[in-house]
Amino acid sequence: MINFPPAVIFFVGAILLLLLPLRIRPAAFLVFPAVAFWWLLSVNAGDSLSMPFLNYTLVITRIDELSLVFGYVFVLVTFLGGIYGYHVKDTTQKVASLLYAGSGLGVVFAGDLFTLVIFWEIMAISSVYLIWARRTQQSRSAGMRYLMVHIFGGSVLIAGVLMHITQTGSIEFNHMDAGIASYLILIAFCINAAVPPLHAWLADAYPEGTVYGSVFLSAFTTKTAVYALARGFAGWEILIWAGVIMAIYGVIYAVLENDTRRLLAYHIISQVGYMVAGVGIGTMVAINGVSAHAFTHILYKGLLFMGAGAVLYATGRSKLSELGGLAKFMPGILILYMVGAFSISGVPLFSGFVSKSMIIYAAGLSGLGLVVLFLNLASVGTFLHTGLKLPYFTWFGKPQSLENTTEISRIPPGMYIGMGLTAILCIVIGVYPSLLYNILPYPVDYNPYTANHIVEAVQILVFTGIGFFLLIDLLKGKNTISLDTDWFYRRPAKLAYKVFVVSVNSFFGWLESIVLKMVQLVLKVGTNPVGYLSDTIGSAGKRVGGVTGKDHADYDPDKQRMPLEFMGLLVLLVFVGLLAWSLFQL
């Protein structure tokens, strides 16, 4: 029996965190994901929590195998992120991250579309603070663009939900049939999943987040979208090719990137592409692969952002063209980062090897040879950039800007502990995949450690490594700007600002000044109409109320102000006249 949704644990935690003494807040933060994990262990598939709303029944919490997989990993990454950011003194960042994680849980356990929409919007609003909290001009601008994109996506989602309810009379969130309403909902989900050309917000915003906040950003928004797609659109063939495009698109743009966290952001797009393609395939094996890969991706991508964030924290730099030679100063961060790099690259004995390959295996079973080929090609690009390019030019390349070790700050212990625990999980899942397979939505009949699969993976890794060292001069970081689809709303931004903000503001300012003058005139006449007329007409030499033109200079309206009773009578007569006119019109 469920008495409250898991999101409540995090929302209450966000409030309590503001009330607790400052010194215990970092430790208190860890309590809430621990309680949420206990909550997940205490529920069973089939449990639910519902309540009446208008003529509908809201299923605030629905427990099944698919939602539980995402729930487990969301809680885990929140706990690990709290350890990584234990040193962070900005309580509002931690409050925002609890709201963000809680709303993500709300989405994956929502059994109806109304509940999903509410948590979807909270997720967008709470996450943007983790970008703005960096307090730079770039983060402010990127955060605003991020917010506008997600407000648009939320509006499309609401439109689709309302249309769906009108057409079907149901608010249940289950598999969607084709139709205009379903396509609107699909577009909204694809925006959050960063499906091209709706993806540029991710590579624009995530690199501008705080060191702490980017770990959370990499975990929730795209994965809640993957869950929503798996719940509502499994088997939609269009998603197969959308996912393939994502997988290839992300690795191509990663070639062009100089900023470490922007490079990792493009690889989020690429890796989510595997999941979207798996949703499109829609078989039980494919959905298992989607769930498994989402689970491992959240962990190893969080680990990669932790590593890149540690470098940024220590050096103040994130561009490959400004880094290099850090291996001797932070070898521990390098080792832990490489665990994440091996995981995302599908190296045997690491987590990505046992999850990514399940999606490719599902494509093969469905006879999608071209999909298998493209996804394997994307794996080459993943290892090339995340496993070779980024660590080489960050830790082993020739130092570019750092003059001496005094420029390198000491990394807090919490960062090492958070990365260490995440790395352990990545290795444990890779060595014992049954720990993950046992919680997947469907029974698993897949063995990743076959001779063919291991040989195939090793060949890809070896030949990719050879190619990297042959082309190393071409792959080094260059201080350039990559144009992406965000150009279409960045380029006209100044013109749009002038047309829709400056011009509109000027128009309403002019209109306001006219209205203000009219109000002042009405008040002046209503307060003392005789005095006003005397003041106005007297200058023409006419006698009004005993005042002449020649003695007009001596006229003091304050001394001849009408009684308040007369002013109230005047207002009453006007009101009665208007009322009589209205009745006459009837």
What are 26-67's pLDDT values in tens digits? 999 999 999 999 999 999 988 889 998 888 889 999 999 999
437 plus 537 within the same structural domain: no
| Segments forming the whole domain that contains residue 279 | 234-479
Per-state percent for the chain, helix, strand, coil, to nearest 5: 75, 5, 25
Mean per-residue pLDDT for 525-550? 55
Q: Does residue 520 form part of some domain?
A: no
Contacts of 311 by beta carbon, 8 Å cutoff, 6+ apart: 260, 317, 318, 323, 326, 330, 333, 394
pLDDT score recorded for residue 215: 94
296: CB partners within 8 A, 6+ apart: 343, 351, 352, 354, 355, 356, 426, 429, 436
For the record, the structure tokens of 268 come out as 């989020």
Q: What is the pLDDT of residue 324?
A: 84
Note the pTM of the prediction, 2 decimals: 0.82
- Evaluate if residue 228 carries a pLDDT over 80: yes
**Quick one: what percent of the chain has pLDDT higher than 90?**
60
pLDDT surpasses 60 at 562? no
In a domain, 80, yes or no: no
Let me know: does 150 contact 124? Beta carbons within 8 Å. Answer: yes
Q: Lowest mean pLDDT: which of 91-105, 185-199, 550-564? A: 550-564
Whether 321 has a pLDDT exceeding 70, the answer reads: yes
Assess whether 467 and 535 both reside in one domain.
no
Mean pLDDT of all residues in 229-254:
93
Average pLDDT of the residues in 384-389: 87
**The dihedral sign for the CA sequence 197, 199, 203, 205:** positive
Positive/negative CA dihedral, 178, 181, 182, 186 = positive
Domain end position, chosen among 462, 479, 496: 479
Asked if 435 and 327 sit in the same domain, the reply is yes
Q: Are 323 and 311 spatial neighbours (Cβ–Cβ below 8 Å)?
A: yes
Q: Residue 272 pLDDT more than 50? A: yes
- Give the residue from 161, 169, 183 showing the smallest Cα distance to 110: 161
Q: Among 40-49, 117-126, 220-229, 569-578, which is the least confidently predicted range?
A: 569-578
What average pLDDT score do residues 441-464 get?
A: 91
Is residue 109 within 8 A of residue 227, CB to CB? The reply is no
* Secondary structure letter of residue 175 according to DSSP: P
Inside any domain, residue 309: yes
Question: pLDDT of 491-528, one tens digit each?
Answer: 665 665 565 556 656 776 777 777 777 767 766 666 66
Q: Which amino acid appears at position 344 of this protein?
A: I
Distances (CA, A) of 73 to 84, 101, 450: 16, 11, 27
466 and 559 part of one domain = no
Query: How far is Cα 272 from Cα 5, in angstroms, rounded to an integer?
Result: 27
Residue 308, pLDDT > 70, answer: yes
| pLDDT of res. 489 | 60
DSSP string, 490-507: HTTHHHHHIIIIIHHHHH
Q: How many domains is the chain built from?
A: 2
Is it the case that residue 81 has pLDDT exceeding 50? yes
Quick one: 547 and 434 in the same domain? no
Two tokens, residue 108: 């994956």
Cβ neighbors of 510 (< 8 A, separation 6 or more) are: none
Does a structural domain hold residue 180? no
Contact 50, 111 (CB under 8 A): yes
Domain boundary, last residue among 446, 479, 512: 479
Asked if residue 227 has pLDDT above 90, the reply is: yes
CA distance 62 to 274: 26
Name the domain boundary from 479, 507, 536: 479
Max CA-CA distance within the chain? 113
Average pLDDT over residues 249-272: 90
For residues 320 and 431, membership in a common domain is answered with yes
Show the DSSP H helices in 85-199 as ranges. 91-108, 113-132, 137-168, 180-193
pLDDT, one tens digit per residue, over 116-164 is: 999 999 999 999 999 999 999 999 989 999 999 999 999 999 999 999 9
Q: How far apart are CA 552 and CA 300, in angstroms?
A: 86
Q: For residues 411 and 309, state if they share a domain.
A: yes
Kindly state whether residue 216 falls inside one of the protein's structural domains.
Answer: no
* 95-109, 262-276, 315-329, 530-544, range with the lowest pLDDT: 530-544
Query: Do 560 and 419 belong to one domain?
Result: no
Q: Which of the 8 DSSP states describes residue 5? A: -
Cβ contact 557:532 at 8 Å: yes
Tally of CB atoms within 10 A around 144: 14
User: Which pairing describes strands 56-62 and 48-53: parallel, antiparallel, or unpaired?
Assistant: antiparallel
- Is 247 among the domain residues? yes
Per this entry, what is the length of the chain? 586
417 shares a domain with 339: yes
Query: Which of 476 and 332 is assigned the larger pLDDT?
Result: 332
The overall average pLDDT reported for the chain is 85
Is 90 exceeded by the pLDDT of residue 232?
Answer: yes
Q: Stretch 224-248: mean pLDDT, rounded?
A: 95
The mean per-residue pLDDT over the stretch 440-451 comes to 92
